[in-house]
Structure 1
């Protein structure tokens, strides 16, 4: 008999033997201290899965979710896996125009949103002929739970093959519109199992979970890691540095984007004593400044482990966890994970030498964790893979003679601000639609808190008068806050080369010192 490859089945098999032991503890908000047992997770996911099954959804149906972070939102994700449907997480900052695109492109059968947004989201959903819209709120209220609580609390996990689709993650595209990366049960499980060993996950670990759960880092890497190890989570619905530091003595692991580490370092209570019980701090989703890496060592006595991944691949590389495997080197993302193939090639596709520090080239990868392609974009999928099956990450980097990988840039102009991906072409598209804007250029410049700050330079149409502050206000009504430029400059023209291409490097240099 072929074993069930459903990711939930693997997670469920690794729940604590004591189902009444604490699996998740709320660490903030009015219900701080509330505990969810492993049995609670099993029963709640069963009830939500039974609700989904009662809707008679077609096989492979997508469930699109835009809610605030809560344990119940995590349970919804697990229930979608359990029932065999496809989970579609959406950033809580997305606005109406963005959601209209996602709903139209993915054609979900179910949309779950925060109750406060039901009015406008349900209108978008019903216009797109989505048959079911439910609400789910941070305080455990909403129509989803109202319906689910009436369902049986046992459920047969849906049978799945490794290649069956588990989730679609939308990642912004350089041409403006987002692409849906299709991740299978096999992609996600293979990566979780590799990380379980690579980072030494144990059943007695306690993870401080302070990340959002609408992207790879918080939803997959952190949550899967704890669940697969049968480890407990201290659950923060929001990151607050002083509150997180206060719980470090109760924990063993912490995962964060570089911005979170910067915020923690600002607190006088961050000391070696506070971190004495911790065994591992992990950073990802954006480059960690070497100054932050070194200051963390000095203040806490711990060396942050940096790793590298993407929405399309989950985790690809990691600095060593165990001392015998080598030192954790700041400024690098470590070695390719077991089972992951990684190569650095030049513009012609020839391998770049790895002698010395290694020659800079394009990073390409393959492995069981690499996605199958982009949702309903066969041509784009074909374009992003080499003829011999390697995925072109779009990142530029090098691999030295010891095998350490260093990311040195992004060939597609990607900006990473506070751990979130921002593609200039998408923002430029929104800017260029605003009244009086002839053209625009969006770049990222160094920012002490966010790593990179998004800025824009716009050129007005003939006779038009533009104001940067007004343009920013207009964008805030259209796109997620993390995409909105922090400053917009108005100029008479954009710098161009002889071929007419905008020289964004000159704009970056011109505004390099903007944020100090």
Structure 2
């Protein structure tokens, strides 16, 4: 019987020379030494053996809230190896959020940073968790102490492709977070597809500067390098100057749009600095056209933008090779091989090509449902098995997919549908505007009123009344913001997505004061 454990596929891709560099720390306690492939194998074996020694039920949840480190990645590999379910938690989560996740997932083991042990362990023990360990970003903690007494070889647990590998909680910007259940088969199928589609090469080197509690950093980036046997230059925290200095040693960089904006702020970002690079990939949040075009001008490279979700890993991607088409700014490219994408209206009927509707997807990468939420799972899947992403977009006649926004961000003003991304695109093209966020807030006459929140470019002064007047000549009157606010920064989550729920809360009484 073959073993569908994702770890087996990753381990099989390790190079023959296990003493070759696998991960090169770029910051942290020691940047003079590297981790070899043998280190990854043996350390994950020790931790897996520790988990085995606890006599946990099969597929126990292992909740992890720790700072980024190579050891944290080893812990993830060990959880897969032992046949349990990895539950990564954002390092920004606080007491109330951790209480919810631990209560909902009922993990058998919780691993946290040493500095948080007192309050995290209190929550865990009250919820019935038996084992709580610490893991710090300086190679210390009780997890590593206990694991050091165990053997450095381990036979991976036998699992089926449909068995759970990870639960990822959605960001929870509206209502309680939902735990997306991803199987070994979901994750492996997507990793294999991306290895082929993005043309991973034998000499590729990845700069890893993303967090590893999220799909982008943990699955897309880490799986990509591991499944290709490629070394990673490992940043525990993103530093644009430090990343720029390591580009000559790398071939692939993956980042959220914010990281590209910060790199553009470095004077040393030139075609020469990027001459060894093969691929720049962006995701997790929309990439502004200004960033897209300025990156082309400054580096000679065109960013490849792609689209995915916690529930599905990656769904679409702009082409890797010119022969497959252009990397078109403002789009997320084509559906990946094996992935179906369709656009339907609110009544569940397909919309004509090029028209906007709700994006639905299916494929071997699509999750099995939400943890302990069978009714919510049924709501989010169509009768014929397609997952309703909650994203709004269109598929053009040539197959390119464009994301317009989230369905929950849709504004209905005076009976008209207003898509924020359309207005944001116009605003972002105006002189002096660096970035914008368009939201709907309650209005007695219109139901919702359109409001824009802008960030000005350095040195620019924006006049709200003049901007509104200008927009009236560009877009339909019902789309023109009733009010425009200029702020220093837009609120974002850790992956760089603008938190429009916070803006809506801030301005909810603008037209209907209490």
Q: State the TM-score, normalizing by the size of structure 2.
A: 0.82
CA separation in 2, counterparts of 1:176 and 1:55?
A: 35
Q: Which residue of 2 aligns with 1:392?
A: 388
TM superposition shift of 1:30: 3.2
**Closer, same or farther: CA 374–446 of 1 in aligned 2, 3 Å:** farther
Q: Which residue of 1 aligns with 2:398?
A: 402
Q: Which residue of 1 aligns with 2:269?
A: 270
2:81 partner SS: helix
Q: Which residue of 2 aligns with 1:74?
A: 73
TM superposition shift of 1:413: 2.8
In 1, are the aligned partners of 2:284 and 2:497 still within 8 Å (CA)? no
TM superposition shift of 1:152: 0.2
CA separation in 2, counterparts of 1:11 and 1:173?
A: 31
| Residues 1:244 and 2:240 are matched in the alignment | no
CA separation in 2, counterparts of 1:170 and 1:491?
A: 28
Q: Which residue of 1 aligns with 2:409?
A: 413
**Closer, same or farther: CA 271–174 of 1 in aligned 2, 3 Å:** closer
**Closer, same or farther: CA 32–163 of 1 in aligned 2, 3 Å:** same
Name segments (4+ residues, structure 1) moved above 6 Å: 441-444, 480-492
Q: Which residue of 2 aligns with 1:204?
A: 203
CA separation in 1, counterparts of 2:361 and 2:498?
A: 28
Q: How does 1:149-160 map to 2 (within 5 A)?
A: 149-160=148-159
TM superposition shift of 1:346: 1.5
**Closer, same or farther: CA 343–148 of 1 in aligned 2, 3 Å:** same
CA separation in 2, counterparts of 1:492 and 1:293?
A: 33
Q: Which residue of 1 aligns with 2:357?
A: 361
Q: Which residue of 1 aligns with 2:228?
A: 229
TM superposition shift of 1:174: 6.3
Q: How does 1:49-128 map to 2 (within 5 A)?
A: 49-128=48-127
Q: Which residue of 2 aligns with 1:458?
A: none
CA separation in 2, counterparts of 1:57 and 1:447?
A: 51
TM superposition shift of 1:33: 3.1
After superposition, give the CA deviation of every residue in 1:70-104 in whole Å (9 maximum; x if it has no partner): 00000000000000000000000000000000000
**Closer, same or farther: CA 393–481 of 1 in aligned 2, 3 Å:** closer
In 1, are the aligned partners of 2:317 and 2:332 still within 8 Å (CA)? yes
CA separation in 2, counterparts of 1:216 and 1:379?
A: 24
TM superposition shift of 1:29: 2.3
Q: Which residue of 1 aligns with 2:175?
A: 176
Q: Which residue of 2 aligns with 1:7?
A: 6
CA separation in 2, counterparts of 1:492 and 1:46?
A: 52
Q: Which residue of 2 aligns with 1:333?
A: 332
CA separation in 2, counterparts of 1:211 and 1:175?
A: 24
CA separation in 2, counterparts of 1:82 and 1:168?
A: 16
In 2, are the aligned partners of 1:174 and 1:412 still within 8 Å (CA)? no
In 1, are the aligned partners of 2:170 and 2:179 still within 8 Å (CA)? yes
CA RMSD of aligned residues (A): 2.7
**Closer, same or farther: CA 360–442 of 1 in aligned 2, 3 Å:** closer
1:381 partner SS: helix
**Closer, same or farther: CA 173–257 of 1 in aligned 2, 3 Å:** same
In 1, are the aligned partners of 2:285 and 2:497 still within 8 Å (CA)? no
CA separation in 2, counterparts of 1:47 and 1:259?
A: 37
- Structure 1: runs of 5+ lacking an equivalent: 417-421, 425-440, 450-474, 497-501, 503-516
Q: Which residue of 1 aligns with 2:128?
A: 129
| Residues 1:255 and 2:254 are matched in the alignment | yes
CA separation in 1, counterparts of 2:357 and 2:497?
A: 33
1:412 partner SS: helix
**Closer, same or farther: CA 41–259 of 1 in aligned 2, 3 Å:** same
CA separation in 1, counterparts of 2:230 and 2:187?
A: 18
Q: Which residue of 1 aligns with 2:30?
A: 31
**Closer, same or farther: CA 37–286 of 1 in aligned 2, 3 Å:** same
**Closer, same or farther: CA 304–483 of 1 in aligned 2, 3 Å:** closer
In 2, are the aligned partners of 1:216 and 1:310 still within 8 Å (CA)? yes
TM superposition shift of 1:251: 0.2
CA separation in 2, counterparts of 1:371 and 1:201?
A: 25
Q: Which residue of 1 aligns with 2:20?
A: 21
Moved more, 486-495 or 169-178: 486-495
Q: How does 1:272-311 map to 2 (within 5 A)?
A: 272-311=271-310
Q: Which residue of 1 aligns with 2:377?
A: 381
Q: Which residue of 2 aligns with 1:469?
A: none
After superposition, give the CA deviation of every residue in 1:295-333 in whole Å (9 maximum; x if it has no partner): 000000000000000000000000000110000000000
In 1, are the aligned partners of 2:173 and 2:501 still within 8 Å (CA)? no
TM superposition shift of 1:204: 1.3
**Closer, same or farther: CA 487–394 of 1 in aligned 2, 3 Å:** closer
1:93 partner SS: coil
TM superposition shift of 1:365: 0.1
